Chains A and B, each alone.
Chain A
């Protein structure tokens, strides 16, 4: 299955700052990658679909101006949390797959906003 990496694994920032999270597909070229968010003891919730070379598709209720997604190459998607606030503190996970049967996830990024 797809091998996915994320960086950083953990980040702590002050309220009002922006944080960039990288997601890389290591073993294949991913035209589509996905970003999820997971709050403590909650499920993974799909935030957006990252499409290489075009705009991301956001799920209902996710602010596109707050969560900027850039899929500049076939192996890299970035999620930028702009003007982060404490309520944005969460576990952010990306995924990539050739087909649904081999959907694999990155190790996740734990964001803490003070």
Chain B
């Protein structure tokens, strides 16, 4: 079993829909959870950061972490065609930046106009 599981998609939804993206993980030592957006042939761009369990909201984006279930989610409200990209979840045991990140495979999201 891989450390981080993420459905690669593609996930196709109409413009304006609420999008739900998810990852599960097996390493209970992960405490720091990130979501990145990656456009084709570009480096990942940090969207959301969450420490431990809980919710975090930033504009149209909401990140949720449930450590008891080892499950994290990213919700996108009022989705736009410009949201079409690959979304990667990433995790780390430490917060000091001294460890690399463990990534999910990424979910390819398509927002249909």
Contacts and interface: CB of A to CB of B under 8 A. Distances in A.
A51 to B, nearest CB: 9
A99 B96 contact: yes
Interface residues of B, number: 30
A105 interface: yes
Contact of B34 (A6, A42, A59, A103): A103
A82 interface: no
Interface in A84-109: 91, 93, 95, 97-108
Interface in B63-113: 88, 90, 92, 94-106
Contact of B43 (A32, A43, A97, A107): A107
B46 interface: yes
A114 interface: no
Interface in A23-57: 32, 34, 36, 41-46, 49
Contacts of A108: 41-43
A102 B100 contact: no
B49 interface: yes
Main secondary structure of the interface of B (DSSP, over half): loop
B88 A43 contact: yes
A7 interface: no
B97 A103 contact: yes
B41 A43 contact: no
B54 interface: no
A64 interface: no
A103 B94 contact: no
B44 interface: yes
A22 B44 CA distance: 17
A6 B41 CA distance: 13
Contacts of B88: 43-44
Contact of B105 (A43, A49, A104, A107): A43
Interface of A: 1, 4, 6, 32, 34, 36, 41-46, 49, 59, 91, 93, 95, 97-108, 110
Interface of B: 4, 6, 8, 32, 34, 36, 41-46, 49, 51, 88, 90, 92, 94-106
